[in-house]
């Protein structure tokens, strides 16, 4: 049995879902993986809280951290710990996640993150710090929630060359396109997606392709050890599409998807996000509604596709938990 301490930073939808998931599942994780996950603290914008049953047993912080941007971290792990970053982060500055993660690594914590901002804004600083401190950063929670994009690339495709990646990585835009193929106009489909809680009040990140671009970037960098930036991605969204255009494609047994594509060709890397008409036999053709999917084209294993996976806060929480388990397990040798 190994005790693993957790500090959860951010207590919004994903943070709460993660907290509940770990508490609910604690005994089963102990039983199955021999890991005793233990919340040392939950940090919110307005201060910190402790879980009533596991904390407060004589463990006291040496300093109170009033703000998430506070200057001192008061929870040095006794043996081994994971910092779980779930704050809403700014994609340009990466804050507050960036500062949190750098500080956590400095203090010897591993990091799993659902926050995309720090990974887009300043990945070099994070990974450099992680390397110098011999700590790990895992980012499944920030890429496509429960759709195992990075796991597939790293574990399932180990030893093969990934030549092309195609992904439907944004549930909102895929839902809208699916409904437009069924006859709705863009505004109707968007309204329906909002009503169902699929689209955010401001859907621009989704429909303009930026959410897809960020995920494509993070997956490509993690899977292929690249150091690409957001400005390397050509991005075009779905606002300009008409129902009539989609109808024409349906007639040809094609489906229009907002596709993120990574392509390595003749030593050049091309990254793009744009609406594309997929043939009926494309493995992502059948990915409809709010579902997501990703296809890897490889040299020695041919084409491998993963689809599905919950994409709500519960899915992101499950992805964070998975990353923590994989950090500690599946380790031999020699």
Instruction: Name the residues that contact a copy of itself, by CB under 8 A.
Output: 2, 21, 25, 28-29, 32-33, 79-80, 110, 136, 146-148, 151-152, 154-161, 225, 281, 283, 285-286, 288, 295, 300-310, 314-315, 317-319, 321-322, 324-334
Residue 159 CB, nearest distance to a copy of itself (Å)? 4
Residue 137 CB, nearest distance to a copy of itself (Å)? 11
Residue 135 CB, nearest distance to a copy of itself (Å)? 8
Distance between CA atoms of 88 and 199, rounded to whole angstroms? 17
Contacts of 146 (CB under 8 A, 6+ apart): 308, 309, 310, 311, 315, 316, 318, 319
Residue 21 CB, nearest distance to a copy of itself (Å)? 7
Residue 302 CB, nearest distance to a copy of itself (Å)? 4
Q: Please identify, using beta-carbon distances, which residue of 85 and 291 lies nearer to a copy of itself.
A: 291
SS (H, E, C) 15-44: HHHHHHHHHHHHHHHHHHHCEEEEEEEEEE
Residue 311 CB, nearest distance to a copy of itself (Å)? 8
Q: Please identify, using beta-carbon distances, which residue of 18 and 262 lies nearer to a copy of itself.
A: 18
**What kind and span of H or E run contains 245?**
helix 243-251
Tell me the three state secondary structure of residue 145: coil
Q: Please identify, using beta-carbon distances, which residue of 92 and 329 lies nearer to a copy of itself.
A: 329
Residue 145 CB, nearest distance to a copy of itself (Å)? 8
Distance between CA atoms of 109 and 82, rounded to whole angstroms? 5
Strand partners, 296: 165, 304
Phi-psi bin for 45: left (phi > 0), alpha (psi -120 to 50), beta? alpha
Q: Please identify, using beta-carbon distances, which residue of 186 and 296 lies nearer to a copy of itself.
A: 296
Q: Please identify, using beta-carbon distances, which residue of 196 and 329 lies nearer to a copy of itself.
A: 329
Q: Please identify, using beta-carbon distances, which residue of 115 and 319 lies nearer to a copy of itself.
A: 319
Q: Please identify, using beta-carbon distances, which residue of 19 and 33 lies nearer to a copy of itself.
A: 33
Distance between CA atoms of 119 and 94, rounded to whole angstroms? 7
**First-residue to last-residue Cα distance in the chain:** 21
Distance between CA atoms of 172 and 303, rounded to whole angstroms? 26
């Amino acid at each position: 049995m190994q005790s693993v301490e957790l500090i959860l930073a951010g207590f919004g939808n994903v943070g709460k879902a993660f907290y509940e998931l770990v508490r609910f599942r604690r005994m089963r994780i102990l039983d199955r993986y021999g890991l005793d996950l233990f919340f040392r603290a939950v940090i919110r914008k307005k201060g910190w809280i402790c879980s009533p049953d596991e904390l407060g047993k004589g463990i006291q912080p040496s300093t109170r951290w009033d703000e998430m941007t506070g200057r001192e971290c008061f929870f040095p792990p006794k043996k081994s710990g994971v910092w779980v970053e779930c704050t809403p982060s700014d994609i340009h500055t990466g804050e507050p996640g960036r500062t949190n993660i750098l500080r956590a690594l400095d203090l010897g914590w591993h990091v799993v993150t659902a926050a995309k901002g720090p990974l887009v804004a300043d990945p070099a600083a994070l990974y450099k710090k992680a390397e110098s401190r011999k700590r790990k950063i895992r980012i499944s929670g920030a890429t496509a929630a429960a759709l195992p994009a990075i796991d597939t690339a790293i574990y399932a495709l180990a030893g093969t060359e990934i030549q092309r990646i195609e992904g439907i990585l944004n549930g909102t835009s895929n839902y809208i396109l699916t409904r437009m193929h069924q006859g709705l106009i863009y505004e109707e489909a968007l309204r329906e997606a909002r009503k169902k809680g699929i689209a955010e009040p401001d859907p621009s990140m989704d429909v303009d392709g930026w959410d897809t671009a960020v995920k494509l970037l993070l997956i490509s960098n993690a899977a292929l050890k690249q150091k690409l930036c957001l400005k390397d991605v050509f991005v075009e969204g779905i606002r300009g599409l008409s129902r009539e255009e989609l109808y024409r494609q349906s007639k040809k047994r094609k489906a229009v998807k907002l596709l993120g594509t990574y392509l390595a060709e003749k030593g050049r890397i091309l990254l793009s996000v744009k609406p594309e008409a997929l043939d009926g036999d494309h493995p992502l053709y059948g990915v409809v509604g709010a579902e997501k999917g990703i296809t890897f084209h490889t040299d020695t294993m041919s084409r491998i596709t993963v689809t599905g996976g919950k994409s709500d806060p519960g899915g992101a929480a499950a992805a964070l938990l998975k990353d923590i388990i994989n950090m500690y397990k599946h380790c031999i040798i020699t």
